[in-house]
Structures are given as C-alpha cells and as structure tokens.
Chain A
Amino acid sequence: MESWVRFNAQSQAKERVFRAAQYACTLLGYTLQKGGASADLLTTIKHLEAHLSLTRKLMRLGNSAEALEAAKRAVHLSDCVLRLCITVAHLNRVMYFACDNILWAGKTGLLANLDQNKWSQRSFRYYLFALILNLTRDAYEIHLLMEREARSSSAKGSLSSPSPLAPTPENGEFSPSPFPSPASAPVPAFPVITARLHRQLRLLVSVLRSNPPLLLDLLKNLCDVFIPLDRLGLYPTGTGFVGACGLASSILSILTIIHPWLKLKP
C-alpha cells in the first residue's frame, strides 16, 4: 500500500499507467477485431483508448518547460557526445510537447479549424528524432562500456602470471594454432570475422547484463521507435505490433519509476 501511495503521488507515474492502459486497449482492440468480437465491445475499447489519449495530452500540458529545463541541465555535461545527444533529444521533446499541446487544443475544440493530421505528423517527427538521439546515446554508452570491458579483460589476461605447465615461447613450445601459419596458407577471412563477432556479442551481453539501466533504456527506446515509424509511414508494422511495443515500453518505464536505480543517468 505504501509503495502504491508513493507511486500514485507522482504525475509521471500516473501518466505511464495511463499510457500502458492506452496501448493495452490498442492491442486488445486489434486482437478482438481479429477474433471477430462484437462491434459494441470494439467501440467501447476505442472510446476508452481515445479518452486515455486525450487525458494524457491534458496531463502533458506544461511538460515543455520540464524538457527545456532538462536540456539546460544537459548542456553542462562534460562528455561532448552525451551533451549533444541528450540536449538535442530534450529540445526535440520540447517541440514534440508543444505540438502535442496544440493538438490537445484542437481536439478539445479550442482551436476549431486546426489541421490535426498535419500537427500529429509534426509531433511524431519530433518524437522520432528524440528517440533516434536517445538510441544514439545508448549505442555510445554501450560502445564506451565495451571498450572499457575489453581493455580490462586484456589487462587481466596480461597481468595473470603464466602457469608453469603452460607452454610458453621462451621454452620453445608454442600453443598449436587453429589456423595454419601465413607461410603455409592464406588465412580464410570468414572464421576470423565470425570469431570476432562472437567475441563482440559476448562482450555486448556481458556489458548489458552488468548495466540493467542501460539495457532497460535501450529496450524501451527500441520498443518506442516503432510507434512513430508506423505513424509516419516510414516502416508500417500494424496496430497490433504498435500496441505491443507501446505496452512493453510503458511497463519498462513504470519499472524505472518503481525502482529509481534502474533509470539511466545522466
């Protein structure tokens, strides 16, 4: 009960719950439509989804100021790549929220003759840019961590003293190479590339396993990116897939609110 009260007190947490409910409705609507459910039930779900969407738009009023403040803070980061990615991502979020607010005004009838489709496309464009920058940041963080991990593992390898039983070049014994020497035959490129890829993949898995916040942020952004891609017609995936991605992303977001240590910093 205590954790629920604490969770419920945050407006971002409530927004995430409503987002999860909205995408659950999208997914449910798609599933029921495929299953041939009654039109009445489908209408109710559509109505609920639209209501959740509109309320979330209302809740996001004023979030531009928050994103702007976050951009201001990100400007002071020491790492230039992080500074660029995070600041520009937040500025795109500012623009996305501004478009979203205009859309809300259009939907409530405050701006009667607003081209809602145009503004919706515009808002999704900014949202997509923000997500691409967030994914770039994730990729950069992963790259840094992989480099560090590779360096530390190679340092460990060089520091660990060779076993007296292990064959060493000093006593004239060499470990048998899996590949023939360059003198005898040319090295086939494919096994080398495969081995390197395998090593990189192992390194990636190791890095992500040891950094749950980064893994969570990456998964969340990957799920989110399909939504604007579908809405903008860049990569149409269908309502069901969009609903599933939105729901997964919302649940991951809720997880980062419940457990703040899972939130990626900065």
Chain B
Amino acid sequence: MESYLKLTNQSQGKDRIFRATQYACALTRHLLQDEPLSKELLQKLKSLESNLSSGRKLLRLGNTLNSIDAAKKNLQLSDPVLRFCLTVANINRAFYFICDNVLWARNIGLIHNINKENWSLNATRFYFLSLIMNLTRDAYVIAQIMVQRSRDRQCQQKLNQHLSESPDVAQVIIPQLDAFLFLLIESLKSHPSVALDTLKNVCDLFIPLDRLGIYHTNAGVANFCGLVSSLLGILSVLKPNFKIKP
C-alpha cells in the first residue's frame, strides 16, 4: 500500500499508470480485432483508450516548463557529450510538449484553425529526436562503463575464463565480438539503471518510427513496446535507484 500511495502521489507515477493502461487497451484491441462477438468490448476499449489519451494530454500541460528547467540544469554538466545530449533531448521534449498542448486545445475546441495532422507529426518528430538523443546518451554511458570494466583486472580474468571455457564457440564467433558482447552484458548487469533506460528508450523508439513512416511495424508491436516502456517507467518511479542519473 505504501509504495502504491508513493506512486500515485506523483504526477509522473499517475501518468505512467495511465500510459500503461492506454497501451494495454490498444494492444488488447489489436489482438481482439478479428474475434467475433467482441464488437461491444472493442468499442469500450476504444472509448477508454481515447479517454486516457485526452486525460494524459491535460496532465501534461505545464510539463514544458519542467523540460526547460531540466535543460537549464543539464547545461551545468561537466561532461560535454552528456551536456549536449541531455540538453538537446530536453529542448526537444519541451517542443514536443508545446505541440501536445496545442493538439489538446484543438481536441477540446479551444483552437479551431490549425492542421491537426501537421501538429501531430511535429510532436512525434520532436519526441523522436528526444529519444535519439537519449539513446545516444545511453550508448555513450555504456561505452564509458565498458572501457572502465575492460581496465578492471577482475573483469579481464572473467573474460579470459569465458573465452577459454568455450573454445569451439569462440572459433565460430569472432573472438572480438564475443569479448565485446561479454563485456556489454557484464556492464549492463552491473548498472541496471542504464540497462533499464536503454531498454525503455528502445521500446519507445518504435512508436514514433511507425508514426513517421520511417520503419513500419504493425500496431501490435508498437503497442506492446509502449506497454513495456510504461511498465519500465513505473519501475523507475517506484524504485528511484533504477532511474538513470544525471
């Protein structure tokens, strides 16, 4: 109960729950599409999904300021790569939220004379760029950890042991690749927050890729990815040590 209350008391926690529910509805709808006798259920799921979507849009009003504040904070980072990636990611998120707010106002009927499709594409574009920057940051952090681990004596012993344990596999797979993969897995194991953030961003990436027509996946894959990403988001809200810093 305690952790549930902690989760629901945070705006981000509630948003993640609604996002997970929204994608769960969309996924269920996709799976039940060809089923007979499920017309009414599909209608209910669609109604719930659209209600959650518009509710989340309203919840995100004012998040632009949060992103601008985060971008300002990231300008103080000493590492130039992290500074660049995180600042640009947050600026893109700020623009995404602006587009999202305009779309919300259009859906409600506060604004009439805007092209909904255009603004939706712009929002998705900014979201996509933000994710790309976050993934670049993840790749950079992983590379740093791997370099650190490769210098570690204990890790080197483990690697040699791993390569000598399976020489037949090592002959089939390029030894360098095997060593790289071993090091990568070890690095991610030792830093679950980085692993979680990478997985979340990879899952999230499929949604804008599909919407922008860059890489078409079916609705099922996109919604499943959205659901997984939301659950990982909930996990990082519940357990702050799983949240990547900075």
Interface residues of A (CB under 8 A from B): 1-2, 4-5, 8-14, 18, 43-44, 47-48, 51-52, 54-55, 58-59, 62-63, 65-66, 69, 108-110
Interface pair A2/B69, CB less than 8 Å apart: yes
Residues on the A chain within 8 Å of B52, using CB: 58
Residues on the B chain within 8 Å of A59, using CB: 14, 55, 59
Residues on the A chain within 8 Å of B4, using CB: 62, 65
1/0 contact trace for B1-28 toward A, CB 8 Å? 1001100111111100010000000000
Interface pair A44/B109, CB less than 8 Å apart: yes
Give the distance in Å from the alpha carbon of A109 to the alpha carbon of B11 in the complex: 25
Instruction: Choose among B47, B54, B62 the residue that contacts A109 (Cβ–Cβ < 8 A).
Output: B47
User: Counting chain B CB atoms within 10 Å of each CB, which of A4, A10, A54, A109 scores highest?
Assistant: A109
Interface pair A66/B65, CB less than 8 Å apart: no
Could you list 11 A-B pairs, sorted by A, with CB under 8 Å? A2-B69, A5-B69, A11-B14, A47-B108, A58-B51, A58-B55, A62-B4, A65-B1, A69-B5, A109-B44, A110-B48
Interface pair B51/A69, CB less than 8 Å apart: no
Total A-B Cβ pairs within 8 A? 80
Given contacts A69-B1, A109-B43, A109-B47, contact A51 B58 (CB under 8 A): yes
Given contacts A1-B65, A65-B1, A69-B1, contact A55 B11 (CB under 8 A): no
Interface of A is mostly: helix
B66 at the interface (CB under 8 A from A): yes
User: Counting chain B CB atoms within 10 Å of each CB, which of A2, A43, A48, A51 scores highest?
Assistant: A51
Given contacts A4-B65, A9-B11, A11-B11, contact A66 B55 (CB under 8 A): no
Instruction: Choose among B55, B69, B109, B110 the residue that contacts A55 (Cβ–Cβ < 8 A).
Output: B55
Give the distance in Å from the alpha carbon of A44 to the alpha carbon of B109 in the complex: 6
Residues on the A chain within 8 Å of B48, using CB: 108-110
> What 9 A-B pairs have minimum CB-CB distances, sorted nearest first?
A109-B47, A58-B55, A55-B55, A108-B51, A55-B58, A11-B11, A11-B14, A1-B69, A5-B69
Q: Which residue of A lies closest to B66 (CB)?
A: A5
Interface residues of B (CB under 8 A from A): 1, 4-5, 8-14, 18, 43-44, 47-48, 51-52, 54-55, 58-59, 62-63, 65-66, 68-69, 72, 108-110
**Shortest distance from the beta carbon of B13 to any chain A beta carbon, whole Å:** 7
Give the distance in Å from the alpha carbon of A45 to the alpha carbon of B230 in the complex: 33
Instruction: Choose among B44, B59, B66, B69 the residue that contacts A110 (Cβ–Cβ < 8 A).
Output: B44
Give the distance in Å from the alpha carbon of A216 to the alpha carbon of B99 in the complex: 38
Interface pair B47/A9, CB less than 8 Å apart: no
Give the distance in Å from the alpha carbon of A54 to the alpha carbon of B48 in the complex: 12
Interface pair B59/A14, CB less than 8 Å apart: yes
**Shortest distance from the beta carbon of B100 to any chain A beta carbon, whole Å:** 14
**Shortest distance from the beta carbon of B23 to any chain A beta carbon, whole Å:** 16
**Shortest distance from the beta carbon of B73 to any chain A beta carbon, whole Å:** 10
Residues on the B chain within 8 Å of A52, using CB: 58
Interface pair B63/A58, CB less than 8 Å apart: no
Interface pair B47/A11, CB less than 8 Å apart: no
Residues on the A chain within 8 Å of B110, using CB: 44, 48
Interface pair B10/A11, CB less than 8 Å apart: yes
Give the distance in Å from the alpha carbon of A9 to the alpha carbon of B7 in the complex: 11
Residues on the B chain within 8 Å of A62, using CB: 4, 8
